[in-house]
Amino acid sequence: MTDTTGPIIAADGTPLKRKLAQAMFRSRARAFGLVFPLLAFIIAAFIIPIIMLLWQGFYDDRYATLMPESTAAVSEWDGTSQPTEEIAAAMVADLVVARSNKTIGQVATRVNRELSGTRSLFTKTARSAAKMEPPYMQALIDKDAKWSDIRTWQAVKISAKIYNPGYIAAALDFKYNADGSFSRQAEERRIHVKLFLRTLEISFIVTVACLLLGYPVAFLLSTLPVRTSNLLLILVLLPFWTSLLVRTTAWIAMLQGQGVMNDLFVVFGLATDDDRFSLIYNKTGTLIAMTHILLPFMILPLYSVMKTIPPTYVRAAKSMGATNWTAFWRVYFPQSVPGIGAGALLVFILAIGYYITPALVGGQDGQMISNIIDFHMRKSLNWNLAAALGLVLLVFVLFLFWLYDRIVGIDNMKLG
Amino acid sequence: MKFTKTVLATSILALSAGVASADSITVVSWGGAYTKSQVEAYHKPWMAATGNSVVSEDYNGGLAEVKSQVEAGNVTWDLVDVEMSDAVRGCDEGLLEEIDSSILPAGADGTPAMDDFIAGTVTDCAVATIVWSTIFAYDNSVLANGPTSISDFFDLEKFPGKRGMRKSPKANLEMALAADGVAAADIYDVLGTPEGVDRAFAVLDRIKDDTVWWEAGAQPPQLLADGEVVMTTAYNGRIFNAVAAEDKPFTIVWDAQNFDLDLWVIPKGAPNLEAALDFVKFSTATEQLAAQASYISYGPVRKSSAPLVGSFYNKPELDMGPQMPTAPENFATAIQSDFEFWADNQDELNERFNAWLAN
């Protein structure tokens, strides 16, 4: 027996504290081992590709890699004075190499993004670059007068920047200039800010519409006897399980000029045969179809939260003299707020990235920012701009998420 | 993925043609009536002749898939049917294999291949098969006295009702200028100036609020059939197919038609390069090009094919000659789509078009 105040020792002589830490470590390692496959999968298949893609929003080394000499030359140049003979000589040397490596097309495509018409200028000049003799500036101008235009060289200077703020600027309707300044994009080419705002507007309206339509349904589902409510729940889940494309196409059949809804309007005298409502291929169509498609995402969280609200509370409130409205508003509603929070956030974030439905039924004024991102991914192949737009959208959503957390509180949200 | 996959045939015939082993190549095209015409005229005879098989996939145009396959180093497509501007751009960007034009066979009448193909239809990386055209069409059961010129298309007072147009500045801007009185030969000179672009958009403004925008080639005949629009731009073969195969009451207006080419290209690193080249050689021969023209009204690019073009495959009384974009009576005011102009200006014009649409 000892009366020492030293650490408590376990049976095998090691301090109990360390023993406990070991046991905790083992169980933590086991838990980590269980989630590791999923974690590795998410990192490899989700997080890394996203970072790599977003990286392209401000990183573009295509010109600098393929045209190293002229990249070095224009980086010395201030972007406003007359380009020097050295710059021209470096350009000709690069063009010769790019032509023989067959990379001239990539270079030309890159510069053409900054100034229309430079694509053919580069491919054409490269064809005869090998035969050019000093003075090179004059040789270039003799080949095509566009080489005497300072805007051509400014486009080269912008393209040569590896860390290029131009794409993010373009995503916000600004233009990055060769001297490092930013200016507003020409009026007729401004589109992105407008579309970001419209995306926000459509998402907000869809969220509110889903809430107004979904709340009574969820309330009804949660108060009915289980047998009836399960049957009704199937009616909510059935469209939820149906393909998005099928549902969108069904709305086209319903809403188009010669569609079911318009036929009914004509029958009931609300519209004439020559003057039918335009319910689709515009913003109205986008709103209707998206509200319908996203409705289950509102109803299900609401329903699962409402299921857990004991009916006794409302009865207690009424027994103490509350009117129906007061009992609902002061007792029931606050308890359903976590469901509203979850549903609204789910619907809003899904809506902000929607693109198939607006693409099919949106016409011209029902398009959203994701449709432009899709356009740059698939049609114009300007992945850098697509990445920049995606980056802006991501930052924006994270900001909204933060705002939501500050106002409503992210803990105050329940999916069931 | 949206494409549908059709395994056409896996049957292997006797390996008598001297082919050591049977290959399977993946050929990608635009789907619908157009792919059907290629299957009948190219795939089936080629499979019979070589014992190889063809897997046919559909896509919606553009270079995005080719680009991602080549850049990921995982190419699964052997042959893709593309538009001229994509063929040039893909070649410039190093996404496509070069095709040696000396492998192309001489015409059936003995003309050397390079004299037999219409000028400009064989490029470094691509061999054309057909001439197709963007035209506009209307439903003659709705409009008895239908439009006859391109300016009617942009005239809402003369012909009230919705219009359909492809959601792209290409062809639309050209048609708008033609409707404003610019001659076919001057279209791209005018469009090359800022004032010309303003002018074209001003014409489009006339019908902007009454336009339904389509993206896939199958949409415009559907829009017409549904009565959703009274007239729409469309690819001529799709309208022809709706008339010939489905007896729709549509009429094509050929004024200011925009013609373009469809070409075979091979993505860089295609898994079955040799077989793909053999398929290109086979399918662009005089007989095959002429055979395709009996399934769809797209014009063969070989001069020697023209005399062999017959009638629609299941309607002997329907002569295909006058249905072609290249038929003299259709061709008077035709505009050749200028791929160089579009390769240079598409970034800017797409941006402006998108902004114009959204405003």
Residues A281 and A374 occupy one common structural domain: yes
Residues A278 and A364 occupy one common structural domain: yes
Range of the domain at A33: 13-55
Say whether pLDDT at B3 is over 80: no
Residues A350 and A388 occupy one common structural domain: yes
Tell me whether residue A183 is in a domain. no
Query: What distance in Å separates the CA atoms of residue B133 and residue B138, rounded to the nearest whole number?
Result: 16
Q: A281–B212: do the CB atoms touch at under 8 Å?
A: yes
* Residue in A136, A159, A151 with CA at minimum distance from that of residue A66: A159
Chain A residue closest to B357 (CA)? A364
Give the minimum alpha-carbon distance from A361 to chain B in angstroms, rounded to a whole number.
10
Residues A20 and A149 occupy one common structural domain: no
Q: A364–B352: do the CB atoms touch at under 8 Å?
A: no
Q: Which residues of B touch A191 (CB under 8 A)?
A: 351, 354-355, 358-359
Question: What's residue B20's pLDDT?
Answer: 44
Q: Which residues of A touch B (CB under 8 A)?
A: 102-106, 108-109, 112-113, 116-120, 123, 188-191, 194-195, 198, 256-258, 281, 359, 363-365, 367, 372, 375, 377-382
B89: contact with A, CB 8 A cutoff: yes
Chain A residue closest to B342 (CA)? A117
Give the minimum alpha-carbon distance from B132 to chain A in angstroms, rounded to a whole number.
20
Question: What's residue A5's pLDDT?
Answer: 64
Query: What distance in Å separates the CA atoms of residue B97 and residue B126, rounded to the nearest whole number?
Result: 9
Tens-place pLDDT, residues B209-238? 889 899 888 889 999 998 889 999 999 999
* Kind and range of the H or E run holding A7: none
Query: What distance in Å separates the CA atoms of residue A371 and residue B120, rounded to the nearest whole number?
Result: 35
Chain A residue closest to B197 (CA)? A188
Tell me whether residue A416 is in a domain. no
Q: A189–B89: do the CB atoms touch at under 8 Å?
A: no
Partner residue facing A109 (CB), from B92, B351, B359? B92
Q: B91–A105: do the CB atoms touch at under 8 Å?
A: yes
Partner residue facing B358 (CB), from A104, A367, A377? A367
Tell me whether residue A317 is in a domain. yes
Tell me whether residue A184 is in a domain. no
Tell me whether residue A178 is in a domain. no
B119: contact with A, CB 8 A cutoff: no
What is the set of domains in chain B, with CATH numbers? 5-131+261-323 (3.40.190.10), 134-259+327-358 (3.40.190.10)
Q: Are A15 and A23 in contact (CB under 8 A)?
A: no
Partner residue facing B347 (CB), from A104, A112, A281? A112
The structure's pTM equals 0.81
Question: What's residue B331's pLDDT?
Answer: 86
Tell me whether residue A349 is in a domain. yes
Top pLDDT among A33 and B340 is at A33
Give the minimum alpha-carbon distance from B201 to chain A in angstroms, rounded to a whole number.
11
Partner residue facing A117 (CB), from B93, B162, B345? B345
Chain B residue closest to A196 (CA)? B358
Tell me whether residue A174 is in a domain. no
Say which residues have a Cβ less than 8 Å from residue B262's Cβ, sequence separation at least 6.
Answer: B30, B81, B82, B83, B128, B129, B130, B132, B298
Partner residue facing A189 (CB), from B67, B92, B355? B355
Residues A20 and A119 occupy one common structural domain: no
Question: What's residue B1's pLDDT?
Answer: 37
Question: What's residue B8's pLDDT?
Answer: 36
Q: B358–A106: do the CB atoms touch at under 8 Å?
A: no
Q: Are A117 and A152 in contact (CB under 8 A)?
A: no
Give the minimum alpha-carbon distance from B68 to chain A in angstroms, rounded to a whole number.
10
How many helical (H) and strand (E) elements, i.e. helices and strands, does chain B have? 15, 13
Partner residue facing B344 (CB), from A120, A188, A191? A120
Q: Which residues of B touch A113 (CB under 8 A)?
A: 347
Say whether pLDDT at B5 is over 50: no
Count residue pairs from A and B with Cβ separation < 8 A.
89
Residues A225 and A368 occupy one common structural domain: yes
A224 phi/psi in degrees, rounded to 5: -70, 160
Domain count along chain A: 3
Residues A144 and A230 occupy one common structural domain: no
pLDDT band at B7 (very low <50, low <70, confident <90, very high): very low
Residues A83 and A220 occupy one common structural domain: no
Tell me whether residue A358 is in a domain. yes
The residue of A115, A379, A384, A389 whose CB has the most chain B CBs within 10 angstroms, and thus the best one to mutate to test that interface, is A379
Residues A231 and A374 occupy one common structural domain: yes
Residues A50 and A107 occupy one common structural domain: no
* Residue in B167, B175, B330, B170 with CA at minimum distance from that of residue B253: B330
Give the minimum alpha-carbon distance from B197 to chain A in angstroms, rounded to a whole number.
11
Three-class SS state of B6: strand
Q: Which residues of A touch B354 (CB under 8 A)?
A: 191, 372, 375
Three-class SS state of A1: coil
Q: B213–A364: do the CB atoms touch at under 8 Å?
A: yes
B344: contact with A, CB 8 A cutoff: yes
Say whether pLDDT at B15 is over 50: no
Q: Which residues of B touch A194 (CB under 8 A)?
A: 358-359
Question: What's residue A259's pLDDT?
Answer: 86
* Residue in A289, A261, A298 with CA at minimum distance from that of residue A359: A289
Q: A380–B228: do the CB atoms touch at under 8 Å?
A: no
Q: Which residues of B touch A201 (CB under 8 A)?
A: none
Residues A285 and A371 occupy one common structural domain: yes
Query: What distance in Å separates the CA atoms of residue B108 and residue A267, rounded to the nearest whole number?
Result: 63
Q: Are B56 and B79 in contact (CB under 8 A)?
A: no
Say whether pLDDT at B10 is over 50: no
pLDDT band at B166 (very low <50, low <70, confident <90, very high): very high
User: Helix/strand/coil (H, E, C) string of B122-188?
Assistant: ECCCEEEEEEEEEEEEEECCCCCCCCCCHHHHCCCCCCCCCEEEECCCCCHHHHHHHHCCCCHHHHH
B227: contact with A, CB 8 A cutoff: yes
B67: contact with A, CB 8 A cutoff: yes
Q: Pick out chain A residues at pLDDT < 50.
A: 1
Q: Are A381 and A163 in contact (CB under 8 A)?
A: no
Chain A residue closest to B345 (CA)? A116
Question: What's residue A4's pLDDT?
Answer: 56
Q: CATH code at A196? A: 1.10.3720.10
Tens-place pLDDT, residues B26-72? 999 988 889 999 999 999 999 999 999 999 999 888 888 998 899 88
* Residue in A372, A398, A367 with CA at minimum distance from that of residue A385: A372
Give the minimum alpha-carbon distance from A279 to chain B in angstroms, rounded to a whole number.
12
Top pLDDT among B215 and B164 is at B164
Q: Which residues of B touch A366 (CB under 8 A)?
A: none
B226: contact with A, CB 8 A cutoff: yes
Q: A257–B227: do the CB atoms touch at under 8 Å?
A: yes
Mean of per-residue pLDDT scores for chain B? 88
Token pair belonging to A4: 């020492």
Partner residue facing B212 (CB), from A188, A190, A363? A363
Q: B92–A108: do the CB atoms touch at under 8 Å?
A: yes
The residue of A364, A370, A375 whose CB has the most chain B CBs within 10 angstroms, and thus the best one to mutate to test that interface, is A364
* Kind and range of the H or E run holding B244: helix B236-246
Chain B residue closest to A379 (CA)? B62
Q: Which residues of B touch A377 (CB under 8 A)?
A: 64
* Residue in A171, A257, A9, A259 with CA at minimum distance from that of residue B162: A257
Residues A244 and A318 occupy one common structural domain: yes
Indicate the DSSP class of residue B1.
-
pLDDT band at B329 (very low <50, low <70, confident <90, very high): confident
Three-class SS state of B194: helix
Chain B residue closest to A193 (CA)? B355
Rounded (10°) angle between helices A104-114 and A150-160: 110
Chain B residue closest to A197 (CA)? B358
Question: What's residue B311's pLDDT?
Answer: 85
